[in-house]
Amino acid sequence: MRDKPSEHRGGEPVNQGRRRFCQLTIGGMAVASAATVSYPVISFLKLPKSLQQEEPVEVPLADLAEDAATWVEHLGQQIAIIRVDGGAMAFNGACPHLGCIVQWDGPARAFKCPCHGAVFNDKGEPVAGPVNAPLRKVQVEIKDGVLRIM
Ligand code: FES
């Protein structure tokens, strides 16, 4: 009759403590290897914070100056809010030419791009420079004197 392999090897009893230690060590290395590989993969697949759901941005209309733009960041975008005809409008600050962030010239009531000279009026329409597309408008809700960007 043959002995069980777990009890004897080559006629000598197997040290159960050593076997258990080897099993735990190999198991621990397997878990560590899996974590080392999966962490960067999961981090890569996770949405960047800028694309995750953010709280709406709220700006009281009373805080908006007549001739200055108020800049806020929402969903990773630089957004310019300006007063227009007693209300307010918001634009994505990225120039539609090559993406530079435009600057607001209050006295001229125009957005100017520092990169290649594009100029947009206070409705976001292009009026000069190497661009034909307007600034992208950002949907806003104005209620009870507060502008909200969702
Ligand atoms: S990036 Fe604005 S004009 Fe070129």
- Residue 35, pLDDT > 90, answer no
Query: Per residue in 46-66, is it b (16+ CB within 10 Å) or e — as a string?
Result: eeeeeeeeeeebebeeeebee
Q: Is CATH 2.102.10.10 the right assignment for the domain spanning 51-149?
A: yes
Residue 72 has pLDDT above 80, yes or no: yes
Q: What three-state secondary structure class fits 25?
A: helix
- Per the structure block, which two tokens stand in for 52? 């995750």
At 1, the pLDDT band (50, 70, 90 cuts) reads very low
Question: In terms of pTM, does the model score above 0.85?
Answer: no
Please give the average per-residue pLDDT across 97-109, as a whole number: 96
pLDDT of 150 reads 82
Torsion sign (Cα): 128, 113, 147, 149: positive
Ligand 1 atom closest to the CA of 95, numbered from 1 = 2
Q: In what order do the strands lie in the sheet with 126-128?
A: 103-105, 110-112, 119-121, 126-128
Pick from 39, 38, 45, 87: nearest CA to 62: 87
> Is residue 24 classed as helix, strand or coil in its secondary structure?
helix
In ligand 1, which atom is closest to the CA atom of 130?
Answer: 3
Best residue among 78, 98, 101, 111 to mutate for probing ligand 1's pocket (most ligand atoms within 8 Å of CB) is: 98
Residues with C-beta less than 6 Å from any ligand 1 atom: 95, 97-98, 100, 113, 115-118, 129-131
Residue minimizing CA distance to atom 3 of ligand 1: 116
Domain ranges of the chain: 8-45, 51-149
